[in-house]
Structure 1
Amino acid sequence: MVTTVLLGAGVLLGGAVAGPAAPASAGEPPACSAPDAAIYRTPDGAGAAPGAVVACRRLDSLPMIGDSVPLTAWKVRYGTTDGRGRPAEVAGTVAVPDAPWTGPGERPVVAFVPGTLGIGTQCAFSKQLAGQYQDAYEGPNLSALLRAGYAVAATDGAGYLDGQVHPYVSGADAGHAVLDMVRAATRVPGSGVGATAPVGIWGYSEGGSGSLWAAQLARSYAPELHVVGAASGGTPADLRAEALHLNGGPFAGFLVDAVIGMAVTHPEMPLTGLLNAQGRKAFTDAESLCAVGTVVRFAGARFEQYTEDRVTLEQLFAMRGPDGTTWGEAVDANRLGTDVGRPGSGARYEIGFPVLQYRGALDEVIPTEVADAEHRSYCAAGVTTRSATLPADHLLGDAAGVGPATAWLADRFAGRPESGTC
């Protein structure tokens, strides 16, 4: 049920970025025999330290991936930091091939960030991977990584524990959860994931946003991680432009989810007096749907139809919260590529490893100008960045990017130079 936390909604994400977080202290890890319900239980208190394993459950297979790669996997509930710097907990999956790593050094680990799955708790990636399938679609992505011999640390992202609501595309929430998933993977008993293993980050669409936020936050939030590269595809880098583009279109369901996500992260912002009965029902419905259901239910919807006075997105952007911050400012604070720079630049987000940004040439969800501006901003900041365009639309771009992204990550793990395309 959508409560007043949803009635503070705006348009796409938000959340202040937390400062450096200390990794969880070493200690005796929990036995990985917790009941499944314990993985999704909300914290009793404030939440665990970043990367601390709270509960884990060993799995002998991941049905969504199949048996093409013999593996051992674990569901994990672990500590992280929310978008406003408060302790929190999320769930995720660690998967490691049974075959020994034959490459040089430690087995690499890829922090995988799933694309849009819907905001219902039943949509959690870890649940779908383990057999409670809804409509997730990135099993082949994980299979490719496991076949290459890499460990996978796949976060569900914030808001999938019991009674929660996923803060869809909330940048800081996502970035923290991604980095703490890697920390947690090193603490899962029997995983063999080393604390100094090379780390790659990869995601598409909502996962593309999460992967770039993890890249931007890695140096300040998790400086001990040895991140060697981040691959981001189909990324909604400019959320204001994205909201205007989605409104009234075939993928307006992504906007509805994002409105709800903003409400979760910004409950103090005004909207209570704006929503009509149709809007309240729409938000309630969205909380019960996964990806396909969301797209179908809200195709063609416009934000205006959910408010009593047909408030436009531009009017909403101008509305202020109690501290004077506008919704537009809250959205723009999460624009990727802002205040980014190389290590030592003094930028808020310093990136010391290469970045791959890719998209489909026919992408109907992410406007071309958004993707181009994203690439230009990273190049202008001096970050080594490669841009690639694939022969696909947005939905097919995920599958089309599996080969190029895994090959690019393989080059990073091998230490091959990357000159970028700036």
Structure 2
Amino acid sequence: MKLRSMISAAVLGAASVAGAVALPPAASAAAPAAAPAAAPSGCTATDDDIYAPSVGVTGNAGDLLACAPTKLSNIPGDIPMKAWKVRYVSTNVKGEKIAVSGTVAIPDAAWPGGGARPTVAFNPGTLGLGQQCAFSKQLAGQYVDMYEGGNLGLFLKAGMAVAATDGVGYLKDSTHTYVVGQNAGHALLDIVRASRKIPGGTLTADGPVGISGYSEGGQASLWGAQLAASYAPELKVVGAAAGGVPGDLKVTAKFLNGGAFAGFAADALVGLHSAYPEMPFDSLMNDAGRKAIQDVKSNCLYGTLAVFAGAHVENYSTDHLTLDQIYALKGPDGTSWGDIVDRQKLGVDIGPASSGAKYKIGFPVFQYRGWLEEIIPHETEDATHDAYCKAGINTTWKNTYPTEHLTTDWGAAGDVTAFLADRFNGKPAQSNC
């Protein structure tokens, strides 16, 4: 089935039934959750503890603040595992300590490779900005608007642990900082650190780490790869896989504005404002704009796409500002919105471990997209791949999947798992730049 048809059906359903949930093909209806295993000592948090507001956070990045055993009913296959919801310390783009939520899962089966069990640091694709959309909640069956439970199942079946961040801003009184690169990269790396501190957990400090994500998660994955050497040098990151990557947000936003998938642009505008509240935003809005902000903050993926299908950014401000006019607006320190959006661009000032680049990447990277991609412009995905190749990063590239945006996430999942398994087993990767 064409992805546009899939999305259209979901959009119509969401538009006709307030609060209705469109269930994507890869997710099964949530079964009644079995009672989680008895909590180990010191791991008895409630959901109120896990998702409490991020205030007064202290400690080191990666410190475990709270955890609770959970049943991941939306990972298919009844894979024997131990799993926890976690709350941990991370660092936002302004250098402030914040709390972030997520999920850690460790299969019961032994790791079949050599050495310590590896961990996949995982960032989901776009789920929407409503607090109910948090990946950790959806994996546990509290809400179903996500599509990557099967992907995590592949990692777990291969004997890999999974440390899946929700991303910054899914806590009470917060808004997800959608597509803010440093927030995403820090949260990915810090959940690996936290996963090794769970009471009753079995992950060790010497376990290798792979990074993975698609779409929003692909952007996060590459930011994690770019930040690993400087932000978390103690982690043994051996590879990163990233697909459907919106490497240049300006190119992506121009393409989305006024189109069927304008909801992703709406998420980006609100997410960036959440990270940079000092920048002009709320004061620019007309009545439609103020309602749009609330729609973004209350909906998950399909609800947002339904509300904003065909929407133009110009219709939400009192002065009918275009994207270029918004980019020109400056905050109190003279920084413009355009400057902030440009800071999220991937492939800038990167280089191998031996280079003098700001972002050193000393491990292989797998990038991919579907041949029939219709949401993220081919130009920006291809340009991110080209930037990595020109910088001398060991890069494997595949753009021959006969799939569209969402279906590529599933179509490439086997290749992603195999790529990371090879890295965990010490096999060299041959760049095809």
- In the other structure, the counterpart of 2:104 is 94
Does the 8 Å contact 1:48/1:89 carry over to 2?
A: no
Match of 2:181 in 1: 171
- Name 2:85's counterpart in structure 1: 75
The partner residue of 2:354 within 341, 344, 362 is 344
Question: Which residue is 1:110 aligned to?
Answer: 120
TM-superposed deviation, 1:100: 2.2
The equivalent position to 2:289 in structure 1, one of 279, 296, 310, is 279
Equivalent of residue 395 in structure 1, options 383, 401, 406: 406
Aligned amino acid, residue 285 of structure 1: D
Higher relative contact order (CA 8 A, sep 6+): 1
Displacement after TM superposition at 1:46 (Å):
3.2
Question: How much does 1:48 deviate?
Answer: 3.6
Q: CA deviation at 1:271?
A: 2.9
Question: What is the Cα deviation at residue 397 of structure 1?
Answer: 1.0
CA positional deviation for 1:149 = 0.5
C-alpha displacement at 1:215, in angstroms? Answer: 0.2
Q: Which amino acid aligns with 1:262?
A: L
CA distance in 2: counterparts of 1:366 and 1:48, whole angstroms: 38
2:358 alignment partner AA: R
CA distance in 1, matches of 2:47, 2:342: 38
Secondary structure at the counterpart of residue 72 of structure 1: strand
2:36 aligns with: none
Pairs within 5 Å for 1:54-69: 54-59=65-70, 61-69=71-79
Cα displacement (A) at 1:190? 1.8
Matches within 5 A, 1:243-258: 243-258=253-268
Q: Which has the larger displacement, 259-268 or 39-48? A: 39-48
Question: Equivalent residue of 1:287, what SS?
Answer: helix
Query: How much does 1:168 deviate?
Result: 0.6
Partner of 2:34: none
Contact preservation (8 Å) 2:111, 2:158? no
Contact 2:57 2:89 in 1 (8 A): no
Deviations 1:90-117 (A, max 9, x none): 0111101112223210111100111100
Aligned to 1:150: 160
Q: Which residue of 2 aligns with 1:34?
A: 45
C-alpha displacement at 1:368, in angstroms? Answer: 1.1
Shift of 1:43: 3.7
Counterpart of 1:334 in structure 2 is 344
Provide structure 1 residue ranges, at least 5 long, that are not aligned to the other structure. 1-28
Which one-letter code corresponds to 2:171 in the other structure?
Answer: L
CA contact (8 A) 1:53 1:188 kept: yes
- Whole-Å Cα distance in 1 between the matches of residues 138 and 243 of structure 2? 22
8 Å Cα contact 1:48/1:80 also seen in 2: no
1:289 is matched with which residue? Answer: 299
Residue 272 to residue 32, structure 1, CA distance change in 2 (3 Å): closer
Contact 1:39 1:91 in 2 (8 A): yes
- Provide the C-alpha distance between the structure 2 equivalents of 1:70 and 1:46, rounded to a whole number of angstroms: 34
- Specify the code of the residue in structure 1 equivalent to 2:326: L
The alignment partner of 2:111 has SS state of coil
Partner of 1:238: 248
The 8 Å contact of residues 367 and 396 in structure 2, kept in 1 or not, is answered as: yes
CA contact (8 A) 1:64 1:133 kept: no
Partner amino acid, structure 1, of 2:407: L
TM-score (norm 2): 0.89
Q: Which amino acid aligns with 1:383?
A: I
CA contact (8 A) 2:77 2:153 kept: no
Q: What is the aligned-residue RMSD (CA, Å)?
A: 1.2
Partner of 2:392: 382
Aligned counterparts of 1:48 and 1:139: Cα–Cα separation in 2: 31
Q: Which amino acid aligns with 2:416?
A: A
Local SS of the residue matching 1:245 = helix
Question: For the Cα contact (< 8 Å) 1:47–1:89, is it kept in 2?
Answer: no
**Number of residue pairs aligned between Structure 1 and Structure 2:** 393
Q: Deviations over 1:19-72 (max 9, x none)?
A: xxxxxxxxxx9711112211111244134421111110012x310014431111
For residues 110 and 133 of structure 1, the distance between their equivalents in structure 2, rounded to whole angstroms, comes to 24
Aligned counterpart in structure 2 of residue 298 of structure 1, from 297, 308, 328: 308
Change (3 A) 1:392 1:316: same
The 5 A counterparts of 1:170-249 are 170-249=180-259
3-state SS, counterpart of residue 411 of structure 1: helix
How far apart in 1 are the matches of 2:52 and 2:60? 16
How many Å separate the matches in 2 of 1:133 and 1:322?
40
> Paired residue for 1:51?
62
| One of 399, 418, 424 as aligned partner of 1:407 | 418
Whether the 8 Å CA contact 2:371–2:402 is kept in 1: the answer is: yes
Q: Using the TM superposition, give the Cα deviation of residue 366 of structure 1 relative to its aligned residue in structure 2, in angstroms.
A: 1.1
Other-structure match for 1:266? 276
- How many angstroms does 1:164 deviate by? 0.6
1:376-415, CA deviations, whole angstroms, 9 ceiling, x for partnerless residues?
Answer: 1111111101111111111111111111111111111111
Mapped partners of 1:205, 1:388: distance in 2: 15
Question: Secondary structure of the residue that 2:419 maps to in structure 1?
Answer: helix
Letter in 2 for 1:56: C
Give the secondary structure class of the aligned counterpart of 2:303: helix
Aligned pairs for 1:16-27 (under 5 A) are none
Distance 1:132 1:274, change over 3 A: same
Q: In 2, distance between residues paired with 1:216 and 1:36? A: 32
Partner residue in 2 for 1:7: none
CA separation in 2, counterparts of 1:387 and 1:30?
45
Which deviations, in whole Å up to 9, do the C-alpha atoms of 1:177-197 show, x marking residues without a partner? 000000000111122111110
Kindly, what percent of the aligned residue pairs are identical?
A: 55
Using the TM superposition, give the Cα deviation of residue 420 of structure 1 relative to its aligned residue in structure 2, in angstroms.
1.1
Task: Give me the whole-angstrom Cα distance separating, in 1, the residues matched to 2:267 and 2:258.
Answer: 14
SS in 2 for 1:55: strand
